[in-house]
Amino acid sequence: MKPMEGVRVVDLTTFLAAPTAARVLGEWGADVIKVEAPNGDPGRTQGAVFGMTYEDDENLGFDMSNMNKRFVTLNLKTPDGMEVMHRLLADADVFVTNIRTKSLVKMGLDYDSLKEKYPRLVFAHCLGYGENGPEKDTAGFDVTCYMARGGVFGTTVNKGDAPMIPTNGFGDFQVSMCLASGISAALFNRERTGRGDKISVSLHHAAVYMLSTGVVSAQYGNEYPKSRMTVVCPTNNVFRTKDEKWVALCAPQYDRDYNKVMTLIGRSDLVDNPDYCNCDHLNTIGKNAEIIAIMDEAIAKFTRAEILKIFKDNDLPCEACYEPKDMYEDEQVWANGIMTKLDCPSGKRNIATNPVKFQSLPEPDYKVTRAQGTDTASVMHELGYDDAAIEKYLAEGAVCGKKALQK
């Protein structure tokens, strides 16, 4: 039995973070019903932004967040469309949304409006900036709320350079797992109390939490952003190799590992060098840039494969700075099911899996997305509507059936 089997989730979400949380619940066995407005989730056309194919029969940009769901289209501006929505909620265990609070209030779908009607419902809300404060109703995406306001751009940049250009949804996918964990805890607690709860996760808060080390240490003078030429611990750094690739060395016990590193990179003449061998002293006299320049010059004489073997053979954590295409050939990725292959009209395509593995759960069935409204009629039948009522609601535009993607 899958962990979420028997759980019904109503998904009123768009774009990436919140719908991905529902995707994860679906992979764990939940029955996820995605509700879209008549014009559809704009995530269906984000393939144009991601630089990839987006069609009803091949849309991995939408699949990333919406696999393992059923698709219903409701016009929540009509009384009958809202009636169907409430029938869904009456039968649901979880309601996931990223609609801003002020809009939910207008529709009567906010937590305060729903908690008395559906006391066992777990209400999961993904927000940009949180429930309070001057930005609580401000529009936001992961680039603005997570990467920018959350400090990721300003902290992870090499000092003096432009902020990095992340892959789309970098923060969204991290937030999705936070939201899924909160939903799981709320469902567990409901078994003890008999009552649902409200869970909220904001992109802004999640980013600050992920940057905890920087946030805490900055108040002690360890300020960001940093230049790679002046980092406190030179053996925690990235280096360019002879073949114009990058590796990341992570040897945080500098005093212990300094001599080993110098020997391995061909600079045994610097073993026990009094200016360089002690981290506190090195920072006191400000010679970080000197030893990093020495390491740069030495490591640049090796290819990436050579320096990785040297460090790994000597139990020093070091990794290649992979690009996405490198991952397609990574034996470690496939050995651990970090990606899977989906059958698409254009051939087999790679997609990342969610990182939580259950010993009792085999590889999930990955059911790709379908056209919006594909399941409207069948879900309405389950809710007790007969054919005549469904036809009436379709005719008046309260609900919509299968609809081809509009570009």
Catalytic residues: 172
Task: Report CA Rg, the chain.
Answer: 26
Q: Are 183 and 107 in contact (CB under 8 A)?
A: no
Distance from C-alpha of 8 to C-alpha of 297, rounded to nearest angstrom: 58
Distance from C-alpha of 23 to C-alpha of 27, rounded to nearest angstrom: 6
Distance from C-alpha of 245 to C-alpha of 304, rounded to nearest angstrom: 6
Distance from C-alpha of 173 to C-alpha of 353, rounded to nearest angstrom: 11
On the CB side of 125, CA atoms within 13 Å amount to: 22
Distance of CA 396 to the CA centre of its chain: 38
Question: What's the N-to-C CA distance of the chain in angstroms?
Answer: 40
| Tokens 């729903």 -> residue | 114
Distant-in-sequence contacts of 45-48, Cβ < 8 A, 24+ apart: 45/405, 45/407, 46/15, 46/168, 48/407
The token pair that represents 111 in the structure block: 């937590």
Question: Could you tell me the CA-to-CA distances from 397 to 76, 87, 108 in Å, in that order?
Answer: 10, 18, 20
Q: Which amino acid is at 404?
A: A
Write down the H helix ranges in 157-202: 170-193
